[in-house]
Chains A and B, each alone.
Chain A
Amino acid sequence: MAARKTNVQKLEAAGVLHPEHCTDAHLAAINKLSADEVAALIKVKKKVGTHLDSSAAAKKAGRPWCL
């Protein structure tokens, strides 16, 4: 039987994160995510993540929304 994937492995496979860019504290936080949160992250990546590129991620702009 194949070993169960960790959250880090699942999210890396989905292109959500690169583990080599994560600190130990971040990796620990990722592996504490609930199954629903992991699924939500993968879903968001599929729906909205096509605009992702590494340079864009560095150019963070304000979000045009408020309460």
Chain B
Amino acid sequence: MSGLRPGQALRYKISLAEPGLDALCREFWEHTAVGPVFPEYLFSLWSSMRATLPLLEAAAERARVRAPADPVCAQLVPYLLKHAEEERGHDDWLLEDMEGLGIPRAQVVSRLPPPDVAAMIGAQYYFIAHAHPIALLGCFAVLEGSPLTEPDLAGLAARAGIPRPLLRTLDKHAMLDPHHRDDLDALLDALPLAPEHEALMGLSALTVVEQLGGIVERLLALAEAGS
């Protein structure tokens, strides 16, 4: 018995992996050339966000099918469906923010997705379909685990010369994600998890840390090239 609750154990595993990711994120966010790269960052973020609702729906459907014989899946279904409703339309918010920055919606939706974002999302589809839908919670623990703060966004707006209203999507998530994080932790502590569930969530989370690090490295390289 580890003494850590499942939510604590997952956060601890992520904390072992995230210092490098956090340093990369901070380097990108505070880069003097973050302004010119910001549209590319938003496109990468949108490419990921557009997959959130389909991922949740895929996980919910997989959990629904397995629920009669799987008590973890039975408890996952309502959480996933509720979270799906809470995330609905967020990718559209970001499209609107990008339009405010002069990036036409048609241009965004017709672009080919970044392969690194596709790989990050694709891995979650794989885990959901071929391992267990609980894997998605490991992904969410990383992506919603360290929300941006008001000082982060204020600093970005000043450095990049972006009007604050056009950071609406990031502002809303700065407010919403702490609640999502708490909801997730409460769910994890209530689920009848077996060691293999915790191992899969950990693997999924650590995979996302690595992949998100690669995405931020790409964006940082663009910022460096432009500075």
A16 CB contacts on chain B under 8 angstroms: 16-17
Complex-state Cα separation, A40 to B180, whole angstroms: 25
Report yes or no: B147 in contact with A63, Cβ–Cβ below 8 A. yes
Chain A residue nearest to B201 in the complex (CB): A37
B25 adjacent to chain A (CB < 8 Å): yes
1/0 per residue A28-66: CB within 8 Å of B? 110011101100110111011111110011011111111
Closest Cβ of chain B to A47, distance in Å, is 6
Report yes or no: B199 in contact with A37, Cβ–Cβ below 8 A. yes
Report yes or no: A44 in contact with B45, Cβ–Cβ below 8 A. no
Q: How many residues of B contact A (CB 8 A)?
A: 57
From the candidates B29, B45, B199, name the one contacting A66 in the complex (CB within 8 A).
B45
B48 adjacent to chain A (CB < 8 Å): yes
Consensus secondary structure, chain B interface: helix
Chain A residue nearest to B45 in the complex (CB): A65
B173 CB contacts on chain A under 8 angstroms: 66-67
Report yes or no: B2 in contact with A61, Cβ–Cβ below 8 A. no
B24 CB contacts on chain A under 8 angstroms: 48, 51
A60 CB contacts on chain B under 8 angstroms: 22, 146
1/0 per residue B45-62: CB within 8 Å of A? 100110010000000000
From the candidates B2, B25, B214, name the one contacting A32 in the complex (CB within 8 A).
B2
A28 CB contacts on chain B under 8 angstroms: 1-4
B185 adjacent to chain A (CB < 8 Å): no
From the candidates A11, A37, A59, name the one contacting B206 in the complex (CB within 8 A).
A37
Report yes or no: B152 in contact with A37, Cβ–Cβ below 8 A. no
A contact residues vs B (CB 8 Å cutoff): 11, 16-17, 24-26, 28-29, 32-34, 36-37, 40-41, 43-45, 47-53, 56-57, 59-67
B contact residues vs A (CB 8 Å cutoff): 1-4, 9, 12-13, 16-17, 19-29, 41, 45, 48-49, 52, 87, 90, 140, 142-149, 152, 169-170, 173-174, 177, 180, 195, 198-199, 202-203, 206-207, 209-210, 212-214, 216-217
